[in-house]
A and B are shown apart, each in its own frame.
Chain A
Amino acid sequence: MLEVEAIEAGYGPVRVLRGLGFSVGIGEILCLTGRNGAGKTTALRAVMGLLPLTAGQVRLGGTVVSGLPAHRVPRLGLGYVPQGRRLFGPMTVAENLEIGLQARGGRPPRGRQGALAHALARFPRLRERLGQRADTLSGGEQQMLAIARALCLEPRVLLLDEPTEGLQPSMIAAIRDVVKGLKDEGVAVVLVEQRIEAILSVADRVAFVEGGRVRETVAAAALGADPALLAARLGV
């Protein structure tokens, strides 16, 4: 579904990604992990077209998306929930979702109301807060809204950057359930997580990023079965 081939990108003269590559298929969950500064977030930003690639290619369902303007990438079915949620604070929950819905340009396959209802079905808590300003929600609710808004576009691939960061266990469990639900619907998910223990149970594969490239990709089941193996891979 999403193929990232040996991409190179960075900020000005600083080269962060040095031939990073991964792929994720329909209904698959890939977790990118690694230390701070390894290039995980930069990889997602480069895939979304926010950073120009100096080498490599990104394909979505066989179509080359690298080089396209950033605003065209989401319309092709690539959703992104950045680190820190980045909601439109003064807008209400409903307005945040509507702006996600209208972004699609054409009509979502389920129709506008259908897509909204579908997005809200995953997060009943948001339904109770539709008229509330987004910047007054709790951290967990903000994360839910950020994911719900990205889902309004009904993406084929969803990129999530540190979705469980700073959340309490019950919220992490809720986010994990949503990711699992997306997998069951055939959505491919790429998760960036530094502490992957929380989401290991739903991941299919784990890619370890180091120095701007994927050092190794391991089946999540193998890591889950052997904590010592995970600790060794993370270098802890």
Chain B
Amino acid sequence: MSRGAKAVLLHAALLAGLLALNWVLPDYHRGNLARVMVLAVYAMGYNLLFGYTGLLSLGHALFFAAGMYGLALPMHHLGLGLVPAFGAALLAGAACGLAVGLLALRTTGVAFMIVTLMFAQAGYLAILIAGAWTRGDEGFTIPAAARQVLGLDLTEPGVRYLAAWALFAAVLAILFRLVRHPAGRVLVAIRENEERARLLGYDTHAMKLLATVLSATVAAAGGAAHAALFGYAGASFAAVQYSILPLLWVLLGGAGTLVGPFVGTLFMFYLIDWAADVTPAYMLLAGLALILLTLFLPQGIMGLVRGRLRWLP
């Protein structure tokens, strides 16, 4: 069996397994896993820029929030339906990605991290300042009546799980295609040695801008889905910790691996869930586990797996 066929089969098996869990898991874990899949979409968008292109952003909360508010604000204020609002969310994410990319990509390294962080902070403050529209820190809920699509009720746990799975599967398939496409290989080449890629004739700035816009759009899709499936948009999702979280998820799962962001998100979600049952100081336990993993598994969980299965994208 060819390497490509093996990779397709493995990812298809993962998706099939996740789909089957809808009819196996109790409601509590089904809700958790739906949330993990949505957050993993966000992490996959982050991974496209960080893991594959080598650009460490500290401002992805801006794109997540752009998707969240891009969906929730038109629904709340204009009465837009869920499907067109989702389209508006993707556009908002892409537009933010383009604006940030055009300015932040003039810098590199630490400066890039700081510039992206500043953009995200500006976005967070803008949400607070525009409280008349966004209801600031408090945020607002999206009524259950509005969370219907094609006759399906997204507040129903099974439907919500399947909607989260469908988005996760679609993004995984698109990114699977992208990273195996010649353009995806150019992103990896830029990560490995940008100057060399430029000397082979690649417009690396244009490619990095494209990666930023795609990454922001995928992150926005995660934000929009989070708002649609869980019925809430709030400024806390635009705060700095939501820029740090996808970095942690991706590092834990394996940067530059396709499934790594999902594995990292799942691991950290349940680590915190378990630690919260053990002690009120649950973040201490979670932090300790993260330090140990980073020390002994710097390439991440899927990075370790790919060390053995080199055909994994």
B-binding residues in A (CB < 8 A)? 48, 50, 69-75, 80, 82, 86-91, 95, 98-100, 102-105, 133, 149-150, 153
Contact = CB atoms under 8 A, between A and B. Distances in A.
B161 to A, nearest CB: 36
A103 B203 contact: no
Nearest to B186: A99
B204 A82 contact: no
B6 interface: no
A102 B185 CA distance: 10
Q: Is the interface of B mostly helix, strand, loop or mixed?
A: helix
B201 A91 contact: no
A86 B185 CA distance: 16
A103 B188 CA distance: 14
Interface of B: 182, 185-186, 188-189, 192-193, 195-204, 310
Contacts of B188: 88, 90-91
Contact of A88 (B182, B192, B201, B310): B192
Given A50-B199, A86-B193, 10 more contacts: A50-B198, A72-B201, A74-B199, A82-B199, A95-B185, A98-B182, A99-B182, A99-B185, A99-B200, A105-B201
A104 B182 contact: no
Nearest to B196: A86
Nearest to A102: B182
A6 to B, nearest CB: 24
Contact of B192 (A50, A75, A89): A89
B54 to A, nearest CB: 12
Nearest to A134: B192
A50 B201 contact: no
A71 B202 contact: yes
Contacts of B198: 50, 70-71
Nearest to B204: A71
6 contacts: A71-B199, A71-B201, A74-B200, A87-B196, A88-B189, A88-B196
A71 B185 CA distance: 17
A90 B179 CA distance: 14
Contact of B201 (A87, A98, A103, A133): A103
Contacts of B197: 99
B201 A104 contact: yes
Contact of A74 (B185, B186, B201): B201
A178 B189 CA distance: 26
B192 A99 contact: no
A208 B123 CA distance: 57
A72 B193 CA distance: 17
A187 B310 CA distance: 38
Nearest to A100: B200
B94 to A, nearest CB: 24
B185 A153 contact: no
A82 B201 contact: no
B196 A82 contact: yes
A98 B199 contact: no
Nearest to A86: B196
Nearest to B203: A71
B182 A50 contact: no
A103 B195 contact: no
Contacts of B310: 133
Contacts of A75: 201
Contacts of A71: 198-199, 201-204
Contact of A90 (B186, B192, B203): B192
A99 B189 contact: yes
Given A88-B189, A98-B185, A48 B201 contact: no
A180 B96 CA distance: 53
Given A50-B195, A86-B193, A91 B185 contact: yes
Contacts of B195: 50, 86
A182 to B, nearest CB: 18
A226 to B, nearest CB: 37
B189 A70 contact: no
A72 B202 CA distance: 8
Nearest to B183: A102
A50 B204 CA distance: 13
A143 to B, nearest CB: 14
Contact of A103 (B192, B193, B202): B202
A69 B201 CA distance: 10
A50 B198 CA distance: 9
Given A88-B193, A98-B182, A153 B203 contact: no
Contacts of A133: 310
A178 to B, nearest CB: 19
Contacts of B204: 71
B126 to A, nearest CB: 35
Nearest to B3: A131
A105 B186 CA distance: 13
Contacts of B199: 48, 50, 70-71, 73-74, 80, 82
